[in-house]
Amino acid sequence: MRPNSPDRLNYENYSIKSHHTPMDLSRRAKIFLPFNALEGLCEELNKKEKISSPRRILSEDEKDALDETFSRLEPGQMVRISYYSVTVQDGVKCAGYASLKGRLTKIDLDHRALEVIRTVIPIRDISRIELVDKSEAPFFAS
């Protein structure tokens, strides 16, 4: 193709004719604002995250009772433990107190944890330990 051929576009003289009038700047800025298709979803998710209950600080009497019960624990005993648990359900963090009843399978002093059935519970999270009478839990009796 030759430089001055009629098939070649001359970009210096080329202009685009627009059928639209220019938009003023205040209206133009609005089209770039974020669009919230699910209005109110963020607020509802934040409410779900606040379901958590705070960790209680044990009184000296509660600590003494916990120490006394802990000193009598042996693997194989039936126990009911209340402890602070943090879980994630459907992407939402839930924290609060849980209770578990079952056979104490392991006391791990190196890692400072108890194992009941297959649940490992850190000692620092325990708020109460009760020894369960075998008559109260006949299905665990051996």
The 10s digit of each residue's pLDDT in 58-72 is 999 999 999 999 889
pLDDT single digits (tens) 24-79: 777 776 666 666 667 777 777 666 655 567 888 999 999 999 999 988 999 999 99
* Domain limits, the chain: 60-140
Of 53-57, 89-93, 135-139, least confident by mean pLDDT is: 135-139
Q: What is the pTM of this model?
A: 0.57
Neighbours of 69 (CB within 10 A): 16
User: In the prediction, which pLDDT does 140 show?
Assistant: 47
**What is the dihedral angle through the alpha carbons of 84, 87, 93, 99, rounded to the nearest 10 degrees?**
-40
User: In the prediction, which pLDDT does 115 show?
Assistant: 93
- Give the residue among 77, 133, 69 at the shortest CA–CA distance from 105: 77
Q: What is the residue-averaged pLDDT of the chain?
A: 78
Q: Percent of the chain scored above 70 by pLDDT?
A: 64
**Which secondary structure element, helix H or strand E, spans residue 70, and what is its range?**
helix 60-71
79 and 102 Cβ atoms separated by less than 8 Å = yes
Distance CA 17, CA 104 (A): 83
| Helix-, strand-, coil-residue percentages of the chain, each rounded to 5 | 25, 30, 45
Q: Domain 60-140 falls in which CATH fold?
A: SH3 type barrels. (2.30.30)
User: In the prediction, which pLDDT does 121 show?
Assistant: 93
> In a 10 Å sphere around its CB, with 0-12 CB exposed, 13-18 middle and 19+ buried, how is residue 8 labelled?
exposed
Contacting residues for 118 by C-beta, under 8 A, at least 6 apart: 105
102 and 92 Cβ atoms separated by less than 8 Å = no
